[in-house]
Amino acid sequence: MNRRDLPWKCPEKIIPGLILFCAVLTGCSLGPRALKGNRLDYNVSVQRSNNEELLINLVRAKYYEQLFFLQVGSISSSFSYTANAGLTGTLFHKGSDLWADTMNPSLGAGYGERPTITYSPIQGEEALKQLMEEITLDRFLILIRMGLGIEALMWTFVDTIGELHNYEPGIATGEAELYGKFLDLAEIFGRMQARGDIEFVGFDKEGKGTMQLRYTGTDEADKVEELLGIGPERINAPDGKIISVIKLTPVRDLTFGLDKTARNDTMTIKLKSCFGILQDLARNVEVPEEEMERGIARKTASSSDNLVHREGLHRGLVRIRYSETRPKEAYVSVFYRGRWYYIPDDDAKSKVFFLLVGTLFSLQSGELHTAKPLLTLPVSP
């Protein structure tokens, strides 16, 4: 058979090109490019998943349902690359000669990814302890040093400070007055933080710490000390400000027999638990009125007239709305109980407090012991 007898001419010019293509493709390093794109995708997906999990637990709290969390244990991914080249043809005999009817070159390349995600159920005695125990002062300090406003932190995480109480549903008249003073103190601390005149020095192994306050004058110092019921030593600074140092001590149990007339430099503070924070925020999950009337969901207690004009927990820190259809512009949304629950993307206040709680849960989860075995999900491409 002569080469000129073949209808498909000059295969020798094509085959080397195929071989060169396969060699180049096999030698390419696609790892850096895969890392550049996929790492960001995983990052965004985990963040969105964490927000959705926190939101759905707020909705569960509204419906008297058990809270449940899954922690992302690890994410691993493997990549595979394939390349091939070939030449196919149809040959037949005609007499004593071999003829080629058709000859077709082929090229192929493949790229695959196989991610594996592990989830750890957060449960057991230790997990329950972490969710139910009050937040420690050192974690509160971490949030302050992150630049978060102390006024918002007091609304969200503080249960009592001195003799002042944060909001409770169905608050009595006398306690409502203390709650109003609690808001006054939070507002003053917020102004002082904005001026850079409030500083937390640190905490010891027992959870006790020190707070240094710099007042603009005696009026501000008198007001704060009156609200807290303390009388620390005052130092006149060269710039005309008044400096006082207050000791912070956590209160985990009911204390009886305190002499309320005694004035000292110690301020007691009781922080909430993660469970208590979720229960507080769940008050402002919007659900159909009929479900609250039937007792399916928790009913929101109405505020007294003297508190309606004040900002605070009773006005709702995180407002979660519902819709029968999927919301178009939502910061976070979940589908649950046949409807969509979401936080609008333009609701800045709800987003800020939602971020606060999410940050706290990230801090708390560092000490949680997760249940085993882990749930491992291989994901097919």
pLDDT tens for 311-369 read: 788 888 899 999 999 999 999 999 999 999 999 999 998 998 898 888 888 777 655 44
pLDDT cut 90: percent of the chain above it = 31
- What residue type is 11 in one-letter code? P
N- to C-terminal Cα distance for the chain?
Answer: 48
pLDDT of residue 369: 43
How many H-runs (helices) and E-runs (strands) does the chain carry?
A: 10, 13
Pairing between β-strand 242-250 and β-strand 266-271 as defined by DSSP bridges: parallel
pLDDT of residue 31: 56
| 316 vs 196 pLDDT, higher one | 196
Cα angle for residues 291, 292, 296 (degrees, 5° grid): 60
Most confident of the ranges 291-295, 307-311, 333-337: 333-337
DSSP 3-state of 49 = helix
Question: Given pLDDT bands bounded at 50, 70 and 90, which one contains residue 145?
Answer: confident
Question: Given pLDDT bands bounded at 50, 70 and 90, which one contains residue 181?
Answer: very high
The residues, any chain, with a CB within 8 Å of residue 239's CB and separated by 6 or more, are: none
Closest C-alpha to 343, from 9, 27, 59, 98: 59
Q: pTM to 2 decimals?
A: 0.72
Structure tokens at 48: 């969105």
pLDDT of residue 17: 57
For all residues of the chain together, what is the average pLDDT? 78
Phi then psi for residue 248, to 5 deg, are -105, 130
Closest C-alpha to 150, from 232, 47, 248: 248
DSSP 3-state of 69 = coil
For the residues 83-92, what does the mean pLDDT come to?
65
pLDDT of 100 over the 80 cut: no
| 82 vs 192 pLDDT, higher one | 192
Question: Residue written as tokens 């974690």?
Answer: 139
Whether 324 and 340 have beta carbons less than 8 Å apart is answered as yes
Question: Given pLDDT bands bounded at 50, 70 and 90, which one contains residue 131?
Answer: confident
For residues 293 and 322, give the distance between their C-alpha atoms in angstroms, rounded to a whole number.
17
For the residues 219-237, what does the mean pLDDT come to?
93
| 139 vs 256 pLDDT, higher one | 139
Question: Given pLDDT bands bounded at 50, 70 and 90, which one contains residue 80?
Answer: low
DSSP 3-state of 280 = helix
pLDDT of residue 138: 83
Lowest mean pLDDT among 106-115, 155-164, 224-233, 279-288: 106-115
Question: Given pLDDT bands bounded at 50, 70 and 90, which one contains residue 177?
Answer: confident
pLDDT of residue 4: 47
Closest C-alpha to 126, from 375, 373, 370: 370
Closest C-alpha to 112, from 378, 304, 293: 378
For residues 47 and 75, give the distance between their C-alpha atoms in angstroms, rounded to a whole number.
13
Neighbours of 346 (CB within 10 A): 9
For the residues 80-99, what does the mean pLDDT come to?
62
| 110 vs 338 pLDDT, higher one | 338
Neighbours of 213 (CB within 10 A): 22
Question: Given pLDDT bands bounded at 50, 70 and 90, which one contains residue 58?
Answer: very high
pLDDT cut 70: percent of the chain above it = 68
How does DSSP assign 175-243, residue by residue? Answer: HHHHHHHHHHHHHHHHHHHHHT-EEEEEE-TTS-EEEEEEESSHHHHHHHHHHHT----EEE-TTS-EE
pLDDT of residue 34: 56
Neighbours of 285 (CB within 10 A): 23
Structure tokens at 336: 């649950």
